């Protein structure tokens, strides 16, 4: 049985849709946070703690963190394949930068659930 190699990899349409979807989620979350900042008369630690202790805000933050990671991974892959010609350097940079994106999400979750 012969497998088509193209079916085992991402395609441009999937990347395009993923980038646009994650960008919309990130933008919606940013609008929510900016709206909260503008509408809160006095911004204190208790106000922030009250906002992020809400389960819906925690869920939205988790979804946004994962969207940031997906957006970053696709963007880094596109930039690295376009501008880094050495496959070894591209692999090392891709690994390190993807590890940083994963660490960003892990630290975000640690901070978020610590509230």
The residue among 78, 102, 80, 104 whose CA lies nearest residue 92 is 80
To the question of whether residue 104 is assigned a binding role by annotation, the answer is no
The residue among 104, 95, 18 whose CA lies nearest residue 61 is 104
- HEC letters along 10-72: CCHHHHHHHHHHHHHHHHHHHHHHHHHHHHCCCCCHHHHHHHHCCHHHHHHHHHHHHHHHHHH
To the question of whether residue 29 is assigned a binding role by annotation, the answer is no
Residue 61 contacts residue 109 (beta carbons within 8 Å): no
Binding residue ranges for heme? 71
Binding residue ranges for a ubiquinone? 83
């Amino acid at each position: 049985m012969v497998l088509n190699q193209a079916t085992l990899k991402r395609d441009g349409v999937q990347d395009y849709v993923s980038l646009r979807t994650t960008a919309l989620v990130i933008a919606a979350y940013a609008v929510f946070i900016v709206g909260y900042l503008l509408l809160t008369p006095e911004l204190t630690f208790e106000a922030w703690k009250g906002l992020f202790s809400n389960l819906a805000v925690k869920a939205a933050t988790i979804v946004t963190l994962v969207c940031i990671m997906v957006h970053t991974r696709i963007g880094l892959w596109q930039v690295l394949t376009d501008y880094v010609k050495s496959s070894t350097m591209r692999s090392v940079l891709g690994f390190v930068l993807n590890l940083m994106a994963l660490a960003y999400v892990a630290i975000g979750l640690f901070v978020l659930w610590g509230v």
